[in-house]
Structure 1
């Protein structure tokens, strides 16, 4: 089952949540503010839209609304990589896993999982 691909701004929020979770809207905003350079209200509105699209899960901890990513990190990044390979580079096969080697977002186990997904990519339509 293929999930909706998050927009670039939604991806920024998801990356913050993949690194640390759960986070409040204020904590997420502080983490993405340097990249997105937008107001706190824009972060809240984006989180509400992401919740409605089932990209994040909202819950309450000690009276504070917190968020967790609902999308699997490796699957989402594999989807972005295959989309880039197809649409931008016009490749017939997956991108080499070596391009992800120095990722600050993925650990060794996740890189192995991504490699498996990318290897299966031509069959996954």
Structure 2
């Protein structure tokens, strides 16, 4: 991934992670209440996310749809690692148990996240 998603971009990614491939209208409809954005603001953000390498475009029956360019757990692991380092000054991975009960990731993804954070930590130490 070329860059980390902003909090606004994460809101759009969460809709895609929940539903899979979505059109701009579907993403807007799924996030409009939270964001309060106009449709054009959602479209502009989606285009920026494509430029940043956060989303891929896949035409389906002549409709431009969007998918996440990276898997959800990989994106979350990068954000968690960056938060631990840059905000908390932590050298070791954050405990994954703190994500239990999350509405964004399930138990299997938590286990995958734990493995990924451990691998990222090993790579950093190398």
Spell out the pairing of 1:1-125 with structure 2 (5 A cutoff). Answer: 3-125=2-124
Asked if the contact 2:73/2:113 (under 8 Å) is kept, the reply is yes
Q: What does the per-residue CA deviation read over 1:58-110, in whole Å, with 9 as the maximum and x for residues that have no partner?
A: 12222322111111111110111111111222222111111111111212221
| Structure 2: stretches of 5+ with no match in the other structure | none
Number of corresponding residues:
124
RMSD after superposition: 1.6
Q: Deviations over 1:2-33 (max 9, x none)?
A: 64211221111111101112111011011122
**Which consecutive aligned stretches of 4+ in structure 1 deviate over 6 angstroms post-superposition?**
none
Structure 1 length-normalised TM: 0.88
Gaps of 5+ in 1: none
Do the aligned partners of 1:93 and 1:121 also contact (CA within 8 Å) in 2?
no
SS of 2:102's partner is: coil
Against the structure 1 CA distance between its residues 3 and 112, is the aligned structure 2 distance closer, same or farther, given a 3 Å change threshold?
A: farther
